Structure 1
Amino acid sequence: MISLNKKSSLRNSLFLLLLSFQIQAQKNNSSTYDYAYDFEDGMAKVLGFDSEEGYIDKNGNEVIPLGKFKFSDHSYSNGLKTIRIPSGSETKYGFIDKNGTIKIEPIYENAYPFKDGLAAVQKNGKWGYIDTNGKTVINFKYKRISFFSEGLASVALDEKYGYINQKGELIIPYQYDWTFGFTEGLAKVNDGYKSTYYINTKGERKFADNTNDLNNGEFSSGLAIIKQNDKDGFINKEGKIVILPSYDKAYKFSGDIAIVIINRKYVLIDKKGSVISNQSYDDALYFKNGLCSVKLNKKWGCVDATGKIVIPIIYDRIGSFSEGLLSVNLNGKNFYIDQNNNCKIFCD
């Protein structure tokens, strides 16, 4: 038999537990955060009104509380996220999992996110690579380093760059002043003699690029941006100009569509350089998952590859579609919608 005092105590405990759930439910709503970011790897970063950072899952639950960690600018990748921890007068970097548990201790001077199972980290002034268990896979010996892309990473022991594989084996010798990562089997490099060209993954020279442009050179959907006379156009994988450099600014293709700027207006073009729609925009974000976020008359919405409005242009702030969700802000409220403009998270 339970005494009256015990019943009262149990009732009070249940009440407090229920109240805590209610408070938590009230906490995570459209007014909780100052900013909500796109989802990556099942997690989305949120900002509090004092710039505290946290993370939510796709149910809107605050999995990593605001202010618990200081994060790098990179998103979750391979289930892990880079964090920054003060250590005396220095800052140390480590990695947490999706529950906010530290999986790789913050012992590094710098760290980049995981890609293809490896992360570039710095220790004692030198760079190397670790796996998702924190095990050193490629020793700390590099002066400069990059992400792995298509199985290769550009690294420098001293002043010249070469490319290594994921075993740390040198595949393309140290000979370049600067390099791009490989995209669609090609990488743009400069050999130090004002000679810029593209190579394949064997290091074989494929074709020249006489622009010496450090801002463009990645292939996407078979095309790469080229700049001539301060105008952007596109080349194919043989180095031939297929869309004449006539744009104030061009962004890489996503499928068959690219965004370009003409007279300060954003328009959509196809691979022939033809304008998709007569409608131009005041701003636009990169195409993602078949949709492009566009701004018109100070409001944001989304169009598809034909220029058709899919998400009405009514929002004050917007992200890009990722993992089936889009972060939007309307009248100071942050929430997430799907491709049918239905609210899915923070729908109060």
Structure 2
Amino acid sequence: MRLIILTVLIFFSFAFSSLGQGNGLYAFIGKNNKYGFIDKYGNVKVKPNYLRVNDFSDGLCFVSKEVSSKGYKWICIDTVGNEVFDIKDNFPETGFRESFARISSFTEQWFINKKGKKVFDKTWKDGQGNFKNGVAFVSDVEFTDFYPIDTNGKRLENSTYSRIIVNSKLADPVEANKDTLVKFKQDSLWGFKNLKGDVIIPPTFYLVDRFENGLCGVRIHYAPFVTINDFYLDAIINIKGQLVNQVPMHCYLGFQGDLIVYYGGFHFSGGIYYLDKNGRKVIPKE
């Protein structure tokens, strides 16, 4: 039996193209134009020594210091920057989740544990996403026919799936941090109501995100030429509708952990930046 699993694909899906929070650490670009990691206060926890970095998960992160014949040479570091292992000329398809990561040689894929050792004693041609609740999806052909395996690498069912779409925004959203104001649109402008339907913040914004931790990203200036797929906002407001900060924010991601994440330019360009729970910019303390 063939099925198709389709879930909501959120604008910024979890892939290594964009960076956010993991293990309380946030990627930043140092004065040397290389990547390192800071905590939510801007303290440098991992020095900026890397050309490329992914997110921390399960206390580990794949990073690269050098270019290889296949693109980048990836190593795995811990939360203080110590190298734990390298994956030679292979590519990290995922970060660690539930103690496993999926690795690719570009012709086949396999899983490793947190010591960098290959597990399950088998390979596949393709895979989708990480392990979640003890299940991962792999395939013996490229791009289709995915099936679930357990944490022993054992196939769980005979069904195959045409596509698995991960509906995660860099990390699983924390429902407890969401506030109870609901956005609404009137005459092409956005405002917010409470759960009873009372208008709390009049519709004066050209675009809004959602409230989390008492703050919300909004667009207060008309922007006729915003690049497609660039979620561009230019201010932060509080639950009273008051401006907390005005700052151009491209590819706005909202709260990832304790900090708001956004970029300096469209398509995740221009550097990655952070605001704290007071809406103030977090500056790396190099």
Q: Unpaired segments of 5 or more residues in structure 2?
A: 1-18, 223-233, 264-271
Corresponding position: 1:320 with 2:254: yes
Flag the 1:301–1:175 CA change in 2: closer, same or farther, 3 A. same
Partner of 1:127: 109
Q: Deviations over 1:304-344 (max 9, x none)?
A: 5xxx4376242334763344344689xxxx98654345677
More helix by share: 1
CA contact (8 A) 1:58 1:345 kept: no
Partner of 1:246: none
Q: Deviations over 1:121-167 (max 9, x none)?
A: 11362111112121223344211112122332221112411111222
Residues 242-261 of structure 1 mapped to structure 2, 5 A cutoff: none
| SS of 2:203 mapped into structure 1 | coil
Q: Deviations over 1:167-195 (max 9, x none)?
A: 21212324222233589xxxxxxxxxxxx
Give 1 or 2 for the bigger CA radius of gyration.
1
In structure 2, what is the Cα distance between the partners aligned to 1:263 and 1:130?
54
Partner of 1:69: 50
In structure 2, what is the Cα distance between the partners aligned to 1:61 and 1:300?
25
Partner of 1:228: none
Corresponding position: 1:109 with 2:109: no
In structure 2, what is the Cα distance between the partners aligned to 1:275 and 1:155?
48
Residues 38-77 of structure 1 mapped to structure 2, 5 A cutoff: 39-48=21-30, 51-66=33-48, 68-72=49-53, 74-77=54-57
TM-score, L = length of structure 2: 0.63
Amino acid at match of 2:218: V
| SS of 2:81 mapped into structure 1 | coil
CA contact (8 A) 2:20 2:55 kept: no
Q: Unpaired segments of 5 or more residues in structure 1?
A: 1-36, 184-218, 223-253
TM-score, L = length of structure 1: 0.53
Corresponding position: 1:97 with 2:78: yes
Tell me how far 1:303 sits from its aligned partner.
4.3
In structure 1, what is the Cα distance between the partners aligned to 2:255 and 2:87?
32
Flag the 1:319–1:136 CA change in 2: closer, same or farther, 3 A. same
CA contact (8 A) 2:46 2:80 kept: yes
Partner of 1:27: none
Flag the 1:265–1:101 CA change in 2: closer, same or farther, 3 A. farther
Q: Please report the RMSD computed on the Cα atoms of aligned residues, expressed in angstroms.
A: 4.3
RCO comparison, higher one (Cα < 8 Å, 6+): 2
Residues 4-43 of structure 1 mapped to structure 2, 5 A cutoff: 39-43=21-25
